[in-house]
Structure 1
Amino acid sequence: MTNEEMLNQVAEMLKEHTRRIEIKIENEVTKRIDALFDGYKPTHGKVMGA
């Protein structure tokens, strides 16, 4: 196996790893952030409207 072939394999592994991280962020972290803001908005509105 040449150095170029090994570099190509490493690059493909990094792309796949990056793709998995992006999917995890979209599916898990974004939903949690949205849920936090959903709870914050009504509370904030009540305080400001009082």
Structure 2
Amino acid sequence: MLLGDPPERHEAPVGGVVHVRAGTPLQTVNDGEEDLVVYAYRSPPDDGAEVLSSAV
């Protein structure tokens, strides 16, 4: 994952968890050959999310 501005790379191991604080810009990138499965949970839901340009 690329987190923050400017983006900083954080690698998550298989089965790993990445906690991202509210308001942190993020981008998920799969550099591996296996499928990537993402479960994103937010409470309360964010109706004002902003989609940013790709960091890579």
TM-score (norm 2): 0.18
Whichever structure has more helix as a proportion of its residues is 1
Whichever structure has more strand as a proportion of its residues is 2
Q: Taking CA–CA contacts closer than 8 Å with sequence separation of 6 or more, which of the two structures ends up with the larger relative contact order?
A: 2
TM-score (norm 1): 0.19
